[in-house]
Amino acid sequence: MYPAPCPPPRRATLQRLAAATSMAAALAWLSACGDGYSVEGGLVWQPRPSDDDARVIVTVTKSQLDTWRQQQPLHTQQQQLAQLSPKAQQALARLRLSAPGQCEAGATVYELRLTDASGAQRYRSANWACGPGADRELNGYIATEDLQRLGELLAATPQTQDHP
């Protein structure tokens, strides 16, 4: 039996659920909540009808860390989910959370954000958050190489006129 409808402290609840049951059960519970964006140690995004929202905007930002809490944005790639190339959609679907990397001043980091058309944040990776507890409001660390590749694929996707 799954917990009651999607409590706000979803991360802690999901960790307990995943520890007690299989990851498949945790994914099924998340699917019922209509949120396939953050699973501890698992999927970042899964191409399902509830997630395949044409207005979701995928943004990858390349930054340089000035300090462990401050980054200097260098370049941003942004595209609507519905307009991503098949390769970019596959790269997004294959993203997985991983152990945090090293955060040193001067390091290059990539951050993933998923927002809706109003600008409300649905997902933000913790790739730039390096201090203790700095990722409390974020959704997990993603391998740098994977985000770099996704950014390259977004850059290769032609922009449309009705997209910012």
Instruction: Give yes or no for residue 15 having a pLDDT over 60.
Output: no
Q: What is the band of 40 on the pLDDT scale with cuts at 50, 70, 90?
A: very low
Q: What is the mean pLDDT of residues 8-20?
A: 50
Q: Supply the mean pLDDT for the chain.
A: 67
Task: Please give, one letter per residue, the 3-state secondary structure of the chain.
Answer: CCCCCCCCCHHHHHHHHHHHCCHHHHHHHHHHHCCCCCCCCCECCCCCCCCCCCCCEEEEEEEEEEECCEEEEEEEEEEEHHHCCHHHHHHHHHCEECCCCCCCCCCEEEEEEEECCCCCEEEECCCCCCCCCCCCCCCCCECHHHHHHHHHHHHHCCCCCCCC
pLDDT score of 11 more than 80: no
Identify the residue with better confidence: 53 or 34.
53
Mean pLDDT of 125-139: 60
